[in-house]
Amino acid sequence: MVTPGTRAVTRYAWARPGDVSAFLGLMFDNVAQLIVFSTILIQVFGYPADLVLTKMLPGTAFGVLVGDLIYTWLAFRLARRTGRSDVTAMPLGIDTVSLFGLTFGALGPVYKQTGDPILAWQVGMALMVMMGVFKIGITWLAARLRDFVPPAAMLGTIGAIGVCLIAFMPMLKLFASPLVGLVSLFLILLVLLRGLRLPGGVPPVLGVVVFSTVAFYSLRGLGVVPGEEQALAAASVSIGWTWPIPTLGFLGGLDIAIDYLPLAIPLAFATIIGGIDNTESANAAGDAYDTRSILLTEGVSTLLAGLVGGVIQTTPYIGHPAYKRMGGRAAYTLATALFVGLGGMLGYLSWLVHALPEIVVVPILVFIGLEIGGNAFIAVPKRYAAAVAACFLPVLADVILILGNQFLGGAGVSAADLGGPAASSWKALELLAAGFVFSAMLLGSALAFVIDGRFGAAATTFWIAAVASFFGVIHSPLPGGATFLPWQIADPTPYATAGGYALVAVLVWGASFLPGESSPPTP
C-alpha cells in the first residue's frame, strides 16, 4: 500500500538489452575521439608516441571514467527520486570542439615553439586544471541560465550540432565508400528507427556492426573497396598497465598556459552551454536532471583528468534522447566508463580502433545526430520552429569553415591567399562560425522572445550579443575565434558587429510600442 502523499516506488531497471546498443554508440564515439587526438599529436606535430599513449591518453580517458561513473549514479538517484524505472543516464565523453581547438591551437604550437614535449604536456595539463576550476566555479551561475533561456534556443542549438556536426560530417565518410557505407547506415537506421529484433536475441547495433565489419574486410580483400590507411602505428606500443597518478606536474606549464586562456576559457564555457542544452534535451525526453549536478560533474571530471595527465576536457554528450530510444538505462554509461577508463590504462583502445573500420562505426553517429535534430523540432510548440531553425545557421557556418580549410589545405593554399569577393565571404564565414554554440543560443533565444512578443527580453538578448561580440566571445575576427580586448587589435570588426547588435536591440525595444498580432503565452 502506498501512503497518501508519497510516490509509488518502481524498481529501477538499470540494465536492459538496449544498453548494449547504447554502450556501443557511446563507446565508439569516445574511442574515435581518443584515437583522433592521438593521431594529430603524433603524426601532425611529431609528439613522442610513448608520451601520448602512456601519459596523455590514459589521463584523458580517466576523465571519461570519472564523469560517466557519476552520471550513472545520478541516474540511480533520479530513478529513486521519481519512482520511475525507465531513467536513462546522461552520456559523457571527450569534447570534439576542444579536441581540435586545443591540439591545433595550444598543444601543437607549444611543442613547435619549445621543442620540449614534456613542457607542452604540462601546458596541456595546466589548461585542463584551469578549465576544470573555471567550470566548477561558474556552475551555479550557469545553471540558472536554464531559467531564462527559452527551450527552443537550447534544443535548437543542440539539434543543430546534432544534424550538422554529428550526422552530416560522418555522412561524407560513408559516401567515400558507399558500397559498405550506405548498407551499414541504412541497416543501423532500420533496426533503431523501427525497433527490429534480430534472431537469437542478438543486440541490433552489435549485429549490424559485426555484419558490416565482415562485409568491409571481405570486399577489401577482393579489391572491391579501397583499403583504409591506418592513422596510428599502435603495433609499436606494447600493452601494459599505466595507472593515472595525480601529480603537480601541471605547475611546470602554468606560466605558458596562461597565455592560452583566451582560447581555453571559451572552449570551457562552450561545454557549459552545451551541458545546459543537453540537460534540457534530457528533460524533453522525460528525464529531469538537476542542471547543477550535470555541470558540476563535467567540471570535476575535467579537473581530475588534468591532474593525472589528461589534455582534453570532458563534456556531457549530445544524444541522450537517442540513447533513450535505443533502450539504454544506466548500464551503458557504467560500461563505457569502465571500458574507456581501463582501455586508456591498459592500452587496448588503439588496437580496437585499428581492427574496427571507421565506416562501420559512423552510421551510429548519423542516427544519434538525426534523432537529436528531430527531437529539437517536436519537443517545442510548432510556433517556435523558426527559432529552432535559426540555431542551425552559426553551426552550418562552422561546418563549411571546417570543410573549406580542408579544401584549401589540400590545394596548398590558405585563406590568406584568397582575394576579392572570396576573401570577403571567407571573413564573413569565420565571423559567423566563431563562438557558434553561444551565438546560436542567443539567436534562437531572441527569435523565441520575438515570437512571444517579449520585446524587452529580445532587446536584452541582443545587448548581450553586442557585449559578447565586442570582446570576441562570438564573431571573433582572430584566428581560432580567440577572445580579445578590442582596443588592442587593429581590426575594426568588433566595433561594427557590436554596434549592429546594439542598434537591433534599440529597434526591437522600439517595436514594443507598435501594434501586432497577439501571441499565446510562453509555456
Would you say 123 and 256 are in contact if contact means Cβ atoms under 8 Å apart? Answer: yes
Looking at residue 75, what is its pLDDT? 95
User: What are 167's three cell numbers?
Assistant: 550526422
Q: Which of 261-265, 418-422, 468-472 is predicted with the least confidence, judged by mean pLDDT?
A: 261-265
Looking at residue 89, what is its pLDDT? 96
Closest CA to 163 of 398, 12, 2, 374: 374
Put simply, whether the predicted model's pTM sits higher than 0.75 gets the answer no
Burial of 231 (0-12, 13-18, 19+ CB in 10 A): middle
In single-letter form, the type of residue at position 264 comes to A
Coil, strand or helix: which one is 465? helix
Confidence of residue 509 (pLDDT cuts 50, 70, 90): very high
User: What are 132's three cell numbers?
Assistant: 576544470
Say which DSSP state 520 is in. P
| In the predicted structure, residue 470 carries a pLDDT above the cut 90 | yes
Confidence of residue 353 (pLDDT cuts 50, 70, 90): low
394-406: pLDDT as tens digits: 989 988 988 888 7
Q: What is the mean pLDDT of residues 268-282?
A: 84
Distance set, CA 239 to CA 253, 345, 363 (Å): 29, 9, 29
Burial of 299 (0-12, 13-18, 19+ CB in 10 A): buried
Distance set, CA 400 to CA 108, 144, 371, 408, 435 (Å): 23, 33, 22, 12, 14
Would you say 158 and 318 are in contact if contact means Cβ atoms under 8 Å apart? Answer: yes
Tell me which range, 75-84, 259-268, 358-367, is most confidently predicted by mean pLDDT.
75-84
Confidence of residue 1 (pLDDT cuts 50, 70, 90): very low
| In the predicted structure, residue 478 carries a pLDDT above the cut 90 | no
- Residues whose CB is less than 8 angstroms from the CB of residue 136 and which lie 6 or more positions away in sequence, other chains included: 296, 299, 300, 303
Q: What is the mean pLDDT of residues 47-67?
A: 90
Helix, strand, coil percentages for the chain (3-state, nearest 5): 75, 0, 25
Q: How far apart are the first and last CA of the chain?
A: 36
Q: What is the mean pLDDT of residues 174-203?
A: 83
Q: Percentage of residues in the chain with pLDDT exceeding 70?
A: 91
Q: Which of 138-147, 183-192, 227-236 is predicted with the least confidence, judged by mean pLDDT?
A: 227-236
Confidence of residue 232 (pLDDT cuts 50, 70, 90): very low
Looking at residue 227, what is its pLDDT? 57
Confidence of residue 229 (pLDDT cuts 50, 70, 90): very low
Confidence of residue 415 (pLDDT cuts 50, 70, 90): confident
For 93, list phi and psi in degrees, rounded to 5. Answer: -165, -165
Confidence of residue 6 (pLDDT cuts 50, 70, 90): very low
Looking at residue 159, what is its pLDDT? 83
Confidence of residue 235 (pLDDT cuts 50, 70, 90): very low
Would you say 121 and 309 are in contact if contact means Cβ atoms under 8 Å apart? Answer: yes
Q: Residue 92: in which H helix or E strand, if any?
A: strand 92-94
Average pLDDT along the chain: 84
Confidence of residue 44 (pLDDT cuts 50, 70, 90): confident
| In the predicted structure, residue 28 carries a pLDDT above the cut 50 | yes
Q: What is the mean pLDDT of residues 160-169?
A: 83
